[in-house]
Chains A and B, each alone.
Chain A
Amino acid sequence: MNIRRRGRVFVPFVLIVAPALSLAACGSSSKGGASGSDVTLSLVAYSTPQTALDAIIKEFNKTPQGSKVKFQESYGPSGDQSRAVENGLAADVVNFSLESDLTRLVKDDIIAADWNANATKGILTNSVVAFAVRKGNPKNIRTWDDLIKPGVEVITPNPFTSGGARWNVMAAYGAQLKQGKTADQAKAYLDKLFKNVPVQDDSARKALQTFTGGKGDVMLAYENEAIFAQQNGQAIDYVVPDQTLLIEMPAAVTKTTKNATEAKAFLDFLYTPPAQRIFADNGYRPVVDGVAKPDEFKTPSTLFTIADLGGWSEVSTKFFDPENGIMAQVEKGIGVSTTK
């Protein structure tokens, strides 16, 4: 076949592909963005609630105040998302897994100082620190003491990069206190616990992947993360230990939003029983009474909150200061970096 004949085949090929691509490009540029009465809200959240929020958005679109609202969602590790918003990622509504990820934005004047002035103090969903184990719990891990037994591999992310890991650490520490141990004994427990941690991933979601990928015997996780993995076919079970920490995940509307009415309407909607029910279906403990079914979530005998331990501002400095914090010393003891 000579060149000219092949050329006749090729040139039409290019002529078809090029307009197709431009059509696709034009098509996507005309979609999205506010047009007339349509409002687009930018929702920036941590990684786990994606399924729940997608379902809630569908319900919100069925309501009168939500019918004309479109959403742009971004999901990722809580700390990263918070820093992204700080660096210019546009957000109308935010939902993080750690309060300090939200209060960081208060300092930058992106979120109002009274964000937590509502009935639930700004907390949208709850969960607890649980132990994720292999299906059937072959090593019979049920208590905090089981975690420090020799030969047990515990997976938890690095608390200096992962917000989620901080809940784990404080749950472990608090559980010791609630068992009647002294502060020194509780710190010694942390040393022993982290000696059993073979590797510390950067984020909670990565740690979950490591665990479901086959590494470790038990993972310290949000209860809702364990439920999420189960719902997606992962062969794991979870145990709620007798003493554990209540995980409180905050949400707020930003000050920088250009659609304050719609953003507030959506935030309010998130607190309604139907939305909280969707959260419950996805493994979260609702903050509104009467939504959770009896026996749906196991109640630990001793449930404490971060406020019992001094609140995040005190805890962040006392435990997680990269140079002098208690966890910094624990990590140095096992040779893991705490500085960025």
Chain B
Amino acid sequence: MTQLDSELALGHRPATSRSVPRPISGFTLGMGFVTIYLSLIVLLPLGAVVLRANQDGLSGFWHQVTAPQGLAALRLTIGASLLVSAINAVMGTLIAWIIVRDRFPGLRVIDALIDLPFALPTIVAGLVLLALYGPNSPVHLNLAYTRTAVVLALLFVTLPFVVRSVQPVLMELDREMEEAAASLGASSMTTFRRVVLPNLTPAILAGTALSFARAISEFGSTVLISGNLPFKTEVAAVHIFGQIESDNPTGAAALSTVLLMLALVVLVIFTFVQRWATRRG
């Protein structure tokens, strides 16, 4: 071993050369800290959920997942989340378009407000929606205890995802192609469909994926306005909460695992879409 190697092994910066990477000890310390932190807080707990779900084997897992009330909750959650994501794909793109391409007084404020559902606590979001769409609605529109209320709550909390995903892409978009298409006689609809949309699609898909993942996980905003009626307006997260409180952590873990798997699938799709987007340049 040269003197350089031995000094490196001791974690010392070599006195002779200054173009060597950082001391190994700093890296090791950092990795150690990060690994322990993540293990104690994320890995171990999530692992425990999956483990507990399979406590009674695969048949036990299936039994818990297909219990009627839980199944109803899952169906409602997935159905509502798909609907919400579809709405977001359209409305989110529209809103992003307006924010980027339009000008009118107050637009900047609206732009800032889009992030409010990110920042607002979910229980407050529930209260906010209840104020307008609950029993004491000033416009006499009482949607409490209905599935519409669930959809409403999910729309609120997922509002920013597609908007913020599409916005930066729109801003960077080169308008020359659109102008060229227009000068060739294409209507704005055609231009949008064949010139703009293909460029936006990865961003829209990414935002929709995020929106779906968020929607299936939602808890706080549905608690107040949906009434959490079993079999009617009870979403998966609320049902899991009930299972925990009713001392059935195995059932809770089983349903949680289903949600985790769904979210994982969505995350994988998201990653692929991102790679596809960067490959397109």
Beta-carbon nearest neighbor of A209 in chain B = B227
Cβ distance A249 to chain B, nearest Cβ, rounded Å: 20
- Excluding A206-B228, A213-B145, A339-B67, 12 further A-B contacts by CB distance (< 8 Å) are A83-B245, A83-B247, A199-B231, A209-B227, A210-B145, A213-B134, A213-B135, A213-B144, A213-B227, A214-B135, A337-B69, A340-B67
Cβ distance A186 to chain B, nearest Cβ, rounded Å: 26
- In the bound complex, residues from chain B placing their C-beta under 8 Å from that of A209 are 227
Report whether A340 and B145 are in contact in the complex, using a CB–CB cutoff of 8 Å.
no
Beta-carbon nearest neighbor of B70 in chain A = A337
Beta-carbon nearest neighbor of B242 in chain A = A202
Quick check: is B248 within 8 A (CB to CB) of the other chain? yes
Contacts known (A161-B242, A339-B67, A340-B243); A210 close to B248, Cβ less than 8 A = no
Q: Scan residues 199-232 of chain B and give those whose CB is less than 8 A from a CB of chain A.
A: 227-232
Quick check: is B274 within 8 A (CB to CB) of the other chain? no
Report whether A337 and B68 are in contact in the complex, using a CB–CB cutoff of 8 Å.
yes
Beta-carbon nearest neighbor of B232 in chain A = A199
Report whether A214 and B228 are in contact in the complex, using a CB–CB cutoff of 8 Å.
no
Quick check: is A80 within 8 A (CB to CB) of the other chain? yes
For B, the interface residue count at a CB cutoff of 8 angstroms equals: 21
Report whether B144 and A79 are in contact in the complex, using a CB–CB cutoff of 8 Å.
no
Quick check: is A200 within 8 A (CB to CB) of the other chain? yes
Quick check: is A201 within 8 A (CB to CB) of the other chain? yes
- In the bound complex, residues from chain A placing their C-beta under 8 Å from that of B251 are 340
Q: Could you say which of A79, A210, A336 contacts B246, with CB atoms under 8 Å apart?
A: A79
Q: Could you say which of A80, A86, A215 contacts B145, with CB atoms under 8 Å apart?
A: A215
Quick check: is B142 within 8 A (CB to CB) of the other chain? yes
Which B residues are within 8 Å of any A CB, using their own CB? 67-69, 134-135, 142, 144-145, 227-232, 242-243, 245-248, 251
- In the bound complex, residues from chain B placing their C-beta under 8 Å from that of A202 are 228, 230, 242, 245
| A206 vs B227: C-alpha distance when bound (angstroms) | 8
Beta-carbon nearest neighbor of A161 in chain B = B246
Report whether B230 and A200 are in contact in the complex, using a CB–CB cutoff of 8 Å.
yes
Q: Could you say which of B68, B135, B230 contacts A201, with CB atoms under 8 Å apart?
A: B230
Q: Could you say which of B67, B69, B134, B229 contacts A210, with CB atoms under 8 Å apart?
A: B229
Cβ distance A96 to chain B, nearest Cβ, rounded Å: 15
Most buried by B among A158, A206, A210, A213: A213
Quick check: is A77 within 8 A (CB to CB) of the other chain? yes
Cβ distance A16 to chain B, nearest Cβ, rounded Å: 21
- In the bound complex, residues from chain B placing their C-beta under 8 Å from that of A215 are 145, 227
Report whether A214 and B142 are in contact in the complex, using a CB–CB cutoff of 8 Å.
yes
- In the bound complex, residues from chain A placing their C-beta under 8 Å from that of B69 are 337
Beta-carbon nearest neighbor of B68 in chain A = A337
Beta-carbon nearest neighbor of A212 in chain B = B135
Q: Scan residues 127-186 of chain A and give those whose CB is less than 8 A from a CB of chain B.
A: 158, 161
Cβ distance B246 to chain A, nearest Cβ, rounded Å: 5
Beta-carbon nearest neighbor of B144 in chain A = A213
List 7 A-B residue pairs with CB atoms under 8 Å apart, sorted by A's residue number: A80-B246, A86-B247, A201-B227, A214-B144, A337-B67, A337-B68, A337-B69
Most buried by B among A83, A201, A337: A337
For A, the interface residue count at a CB cutoff of 8 angstroms equals: 22
| A337 vs B229: C-alpha distance when bound (angstroms) | 13
Q: Could you say which of A86, A201, A335 contacts B229, with CB atoms under 8 Å apart?
A: A201
| A161 vs B244: C-alpha distance when bound (angstroms) | 12
| A305 vs B228: C-alpha distance when bound (angstroms) | 32
Q: Could you say which of A79, A83, A201 contacts B228, with CB atoms under 8 Å apart?
A: A201
- In the bound complex, residues from chain A placing their C-beta under 8 Å from that of B246 are 79-80, 83, 161, 340
| A203 vs B228: C-alpha distance when bound (angstroms) | 11
Cβ distance A136 to chain B, nearest Cβ, rounded Å: 18
| A340 vs B242: C-alpha distance when bound (angstroms) | 9
Beta-carbon nearest neighbor of B241 in chain A = A202
Report whether B248 and A340 are in contact in the complex, using a CB–CB cutoff of 8 Å.
yes
- In the bound complex, residues from chain A placing their C-beta under 8 Å from that of B229 are 199, 201, 210
Beta-carbon nearest neighbor of B71 in chain A = A337
- In the bound complex, residues from chain A placing their C-beta under 8 Å from that of B230 are 158, 199-202, 336-337
Cβ distance A83 to chain B, nearest Cβ, rounded Å: 5
- In the bound complex, residues from chain A placing their C-beta under 8 Å from that of B247 are 83, 86, 340
| A325 vs B67: C-alpha distance when bound (angstroms) | 19
What are the interface flags for A184-215 relative to B under an 8 Å C-beta threshold, 1 for contact and 0 otherwise? 00000000000000011110001001100111
Cβ distance B237 to chain A, nearest Cβ, rounded Å: 14
Q: Could you say which of B68, B144, B231, B245 contacts A80, with CB atoms under 8 Å apart?
A: B245
Q: Could you say which of A77, A199, A200, A201 contacts B245, with CB atoms under 8 Å apart?
A: A77
| A148 vs B230: C-alpha distance when bound (angstroms) | 22
- In the bound complex, residues from chain A placing their C-beta under 8 Å from that of B134 are 213
Cβ distance B253 to chain A, nearest Cβ, rounded Å: 13
Name the 5 nearest CB pairs between A and B, nearest first.
A340-B248, A80-B245, A337-B68, A199-B229, A337-B69
Cβ distance A27 to chain B, nearest Cβ, rounded Å: 22
| A7 vs B209: C-alpha distance when bound (angstroms) | 37
| A319 vs B155: C-alpha distance when bound (angstroms) | 42
Most buried by A among B134, B247, B248: B247
Beta-carbon nearest neighbor of A199 in chain B = B229
Cβ distance B255 to chain A, nearest Cβ, rounded Å: 12
Beta-carbon nearest neighbor of A104 in chain B = B247
Cβ distance B57 to chain A, nearest Cβ, rounded Å: 18
| A210 vs B146: C-alpha distance when bound (angstroms) | 11
| A260 vs B86: C-alpha distance when bound (angstroms) | 60
- In the bound complex, residues from chain A placing their C-beta under 8 Å from that of B68 are 335, 337
| A68 vs B101: C-alpha distance when bound (angstroms) | 66
- In the bound complex, residues from chain B placing their C-beta under 8 Å from that of A158 are 230
- In the bound complex, residues from chain A placing their C-beta under 8 Å from that of B144 are 213-214
| A336 vs B231: C-alpha distance when bound (angstroms) | 9
- In the bound complex, residues from chain B placing their C-beta under 8 Å from that of A201 are 227-230
